[in-house]
Chains A and B, each alone.
Chain A
Amino acid sequence: MIEIKGLRKTYRAEGRRGREVVAVDGVDLAVAEGDVFGVLGRSGAGKSTLLRCVNMLERPDAGTVAVGGVELTALNRRRLRLARHGIGMIHQHFALLSSRTVAGNVAFALEVTGVARDERRERVAELLDLVGLSGRADAYPAQLSGGQKQRVGIARALAARPKVLLSDEATSALDPETTESILRLLLDLNRRLGLTILLITHEMTVVKRICGSAAVMRDGRFVESGPVTDLLRRPGSELARDLFPLDAPDTFPGRTVVDVTVTGEDAEVPLLTELGRSLEIDVPVLAGSVETLAAGRAGRWRLALPGDGAAAIHHLRSRGAYVAPAVEPPGAAEPWTPSGIAADQPGVPSEELP
């Protein structure tokens, strides 16, 4: 549904003579129809620029962007404007018109797409109902909570019945509970309307809760990209590390420490008890969890296997698990030492602690 090839975008900092900053540095991306694709990255990673290149709010310097088979990079101004009707967008700070009511904001999107006046009223009611805001049609944005504002944003984005929704940190300005309800709404729209969603975020929860596929972006490039369940099983995956942080030492006296990942139906098998029973060993779990992701069930543990672990690893792999030697995540704290305080330095005097 969305296909990006070799996308590059550079900025010149501070006017014409400034240093060149590469925001997006050769990104390839394909989002399948009906998928929810999350681009995860810290601020400054270039994800916002990437998203703004998808609907040409920013013109890429190189590369192509196609949405629904239409190559946007090749369109003239008028054709691009019409193509944009098929691409909804929601924003971190909602970007609503403060001078219009909730209904007026949704109606604006319909005016822009050329829906006749008498048709608008009905469609506005329909859209507000879709996002659960029917009772607040006459309120002004300033009278709404953050979550309600984002619901208006979503209703507005869906006004022209787009096939694609772009989400620019749509939940980053919201509290966790509201984030949860907005994510549920997005997932619901994805399933009911077959809406393809491309979102950027710095919140792991967003990927966990709604993304079928994801990419990790750093310094303008994708570090890894693909279906979430595939990424979790990939050696050295940052997504796996961030989704399932294994805060435990990577050594255990007399044992071999490994990280085990299971996804999909394999995660339903009582893998660890079964492992212990069939090999008649005990398996200390140093860290780990099983979670329900939008992409399916997934579990990841750090286990201390007896001896060299060969038999147990063989057994786990035969059950579909991905097994890799445990490597303490870079930057992870030494066990029992608070992070940021080096072992040879005196700690904060205890009287100063609250």
Chain B
Amino acid sequence: MTSSELSELLAVGLRETAWMVGVSTVLTAVGGLLLGVLLVLTAPGGMLAAPVVSSVLGFVVNVARSLPFIILLVAVIPFTRAVVGTTIGTDAAIVPLTIGAIPFFARIVEAALREVPPDVVAAATAMGATRTQIVGKVLLREARPGLVAGLTITVIALVGYSAMAGVVGGGGLGDLAIRYGYQRFETEVMVATVVVLIVFVQIVQMAGDVLVRRLSHK
């Protein structure tokens, strides 16, 4: 393989990975925040304490977290077809990626929100803040450094999951490494892919760290 062929492969793989990870990160951020906030609010002693809702949500999250991603990928195929209209390709891979990452991020959100001192929430309540204000201006805002750090972890986990997207023809760098590097013994493709992935993950982590440092005033 010539180096121009290799860089062409890498460019396509990188673009596919970036697209899959990018879109599913955005969807996961929204879904995970919602689910995480719900987990905190409905928990015993929470602002909307609802034991049944809380245990059902917790159970669903745990089930989704227990499934190996490769199984989840196949299990949600009917749902993927309903949403995207197809079960193969990069867009089709985004559905299982998002479904797999939402419960993961939701637990991180839950933990980050619990780090906000109860004192601060009590102070806002005593001032006469509404529940919406408490969630938006106190919980989510105070937890921002933890949420960003958690999202960074999630993005990197998504990069890992996306390697399995090749199963549904999703492409991406992971798929490239498996097909060329592993199955065809093309070591230089394997090495190049891994290097690109390392750089990708490094950049994500560094960007996350910088943002956390900027948001944190502790």
Q: Which A positions have Cβ atoms within 8 angstroms of B?
A: 52, 55, 57, 81-85, 87, 89, 91, 93, 95-100, 108-109, 111-113, 140-142, 156, 159-160, 166
Contact = CB atoms under 8 A, between A and B. Distances in A.
Contacts of A85: 127-128
A81 B123 contact: no
Contacts of A160: 127-128
A109 B127 contact: yes
B175 to A, nearest CB: 40
Contact of B119 (A84, A93, A108, A140): A93
A145 to B, nearest CB: 16
B122 interface: yes
B126 A108 contact: no
Interface string B139-168: 001101000000000000000000000000
Given A84-B127, A87-B126, A112-B128, A97 B218 contact: no
A142 B217 contact: yes
User: From DSSP, what is the main secondary structure of chain B's interface residues?
Assistant: helix
Contact of A91 (B119, B130, B133): B119
The residue in A81, A99, A141 that gathers the most chain B C-beta atoms within 10 A of its C-beta is A99
A98 B119 contact: no
Given A81-B128, A108-B137, A98 B123 contact: no
A142 B218 contact: yes
Contacts of A140: 217
The residue in A95, A100, A160 that gathers the most chain B C-beta atoms within 10 A of its C-beta is A95
Contact of B122 (A57, A82, A100): A57
A109 B120 CA distance: 12
B101 to A, nearest CB: 26
Interface residues of B, number: 21
The residue in B123, B130, B138, B142 that gathers the most chain A C-beta atoms within 10 A of its C-beta is B123
A99 B215 contact: yes
A307 to B, nearest CB: 59
A271 to B, nearest CB: 46
A112 B127 contact: yes
B120 A96 contact: yes
Nearest to B141: A99
B131 to A, nearest CB: 9
Contacts of B215: 99
A126 B142 CA distance: 26
Given A97-B120, A111-B133, A57 B128 contact: no
B117 interface: yes
B129 interface: yes
The residue in A100, A109, A112, A142 that gathers the most chain B C-beta atoms within 10 A of its C-beta is A112
